[in-house]
Amino acid sequence: MKRWRSPTSDHPLTSIALALIAVGVVAIFLVLPLATVFAEALRKGLDVAWAAIDEPDARAAIRLTLLTATIAVPLNAVFGISASWAIAKFDFRGKQLLTTLIDLPFSISPVVSGLIYVLIFGLQGWFGQTLRDWDVKVIFALPGIVLATMFVTFPFVARELIPLMIDQGRDEEEAATSLGASGWQTFLRVTLPNIKWGLLYGVLLCNARAMGEFGAVSVVSGHIRGLTNTMPLHVEVLYNDYQFVGAFAVASILALLAIVTLVLKSVLEWRFADEIAAVHQH
């Protein structure tokens, strides 16, 4: 006897076939590359992998990556809050254009993002000679790395907060202001509690990209071992040196960071879906 099936559900065989295709695509395209990172790192045992991480150049790379993220992420978070406050709480001309411009860095190749700073601060760049006279290094030094990282992670916090704050409207802030709260009080006591999970979500994604950025940083860094190599650049140097275990060992730290980011992101989306309403917009 034929079993009744809802007209909007697929034939069981179709369902199984589609589910298998989906799982297969994810397994081949996403899981296998991730598994490769850890398998290659542990190919010669945990000791060898650890030795590649606990080594001066690797440690310098980890420190530089942490330092870069520590500068770039808070700056972009402050920018994100400021931009979303201006855009969500006020009406002014050119708002649409401003929103589009904020998203701009996402559409630009990472290599081009690095290139623009070389054109300004590089030896043959706009300020190249001046900087050289003053003995200030931007390109092939920390400032360039931070600037390139700031550029590629620029929109993350803003693009989470803008739709969220537009959704939440202005009523609560207007009420607080009419009751005599100052601007900062209104922001700290009314707005911030409303946006905190969305803010955290944006900061999380911003940080993951800041620590993992390769193309833009690669252009401005100069790849000086132990000095201007961030973790992703150190991975490249080791890999091109045929030190595969070392490359994958450092890469596995970055892969772990990605996994932690995904777990936290899923938790935030699951627990606070309403409070980070912007999440479905990638």
What's the min distance (Å) between Cβ of 135 and other proteins?
21
What's the min distance (Å) between Cβ of 222 and other proteins?
10
What's the min distance (Å) between Cβ of 1 and other proteins?
20
Looking at residue 32, its amino acid is L
Nearer to other proteins, 111 or 224 (CB): 111
CA nearest to 204, candidates 144, 156, 132: 156
What's the min distance (Å) between Cβ of 182 and other proteins?
8
**Residue 81 φ/ψ, nearest 5 degrees:** -65, -45
Q: How far is CA 253 from CA 10, 26, 77, in A?
A: 42, 22, 24
Nearer to other proteins, 51 or 244 (CB): 244
What's the min distance (Å) between Cβ of 46 and other proteins?
19
Nearer to other proteins, 244 or 272 (CB): 244
CA nearest to 254, candidates 71, 74, 41, 107: 41
Nearer to other proteins, 121 or 197 (CB): 121
Nearer to other proteins, 224 or 263 (CB): 263
Separation between Cα atoms, residue 87 and residue 159, nearest integer Å: 11
Residues whose CB falls within 8 Å of the CB of residue 156, separated by 6 or more in sequence, listed in order:
76, 80, 202, 203, 205, 206, 209
